[in-house]
Amino acid sequence: MLDEQAKKTLLRKIPHGIYICGVKDGDDINGFTASWIMQASFKPPLVVNCVKQDSRSHAMIKASGVFALSFLEAGQKELAKKFFQPQRWVGDKFGDVQFYRGEETGCPIISDSLGYVECRVVGSVEHGDHTVYVGEVIAAGVHREGEPLLLESTGWNYGG
């Protein structure tokens, strides 16, 4: 039998970084705070990005087949917080955030981040309430050195 509290407690102990996932569909852009990210292969370089299925960003990734991950630095909790809410509630999340569009994907990349990877979707698995998008890294850049923002340091819980 599944002990619901034990499941929640232990799944929340899986360490996660905090990223801003930039997406686009045509000229429209959006972004969201992502934490269910991991590297999945060296050759080719693959990352896994788990995206909530009922979100606008999910539909944009599905339509465009691309996304970009901006790696946040420890101390950028407030920046991550700007991208938590659905776009339909808050409007343009990039309004006061400096960004540029990736050369390979056209997805928004946060200028004030540790760096980024741009990805082309090469596979997906739709089960549960999130889709697992497998993205091949087709471009990457380092903006500066620093320690990454981790979910556990924010006091937030996204898991369990």
Using one digit for the tens of pLDDT, what is the confidence trace for 54-81? 999 999 999 999 999 999 999 999 999 9
Q: What count of Cα atoms within 13 Å lies in the side-chain half-sphere of residue 32? A: 25
pTM score, whole prediction: 0.92
CB 133 within 8 A of CB 120: no
pLDDT tens for 97-143 read 999 999 999 999 999 999 999 999 999 999 999 999 999 999 999 99
Instruction: Look at residue 88 and tell me whether its pLDDT is greater than 90.
Output: no
By three-state DSSP, how is residue 58 classified? helix
> Nearest to residue 103, comparing CAs of 24, 33, 18?
24
Element (H, E) at 69: strand 66-71
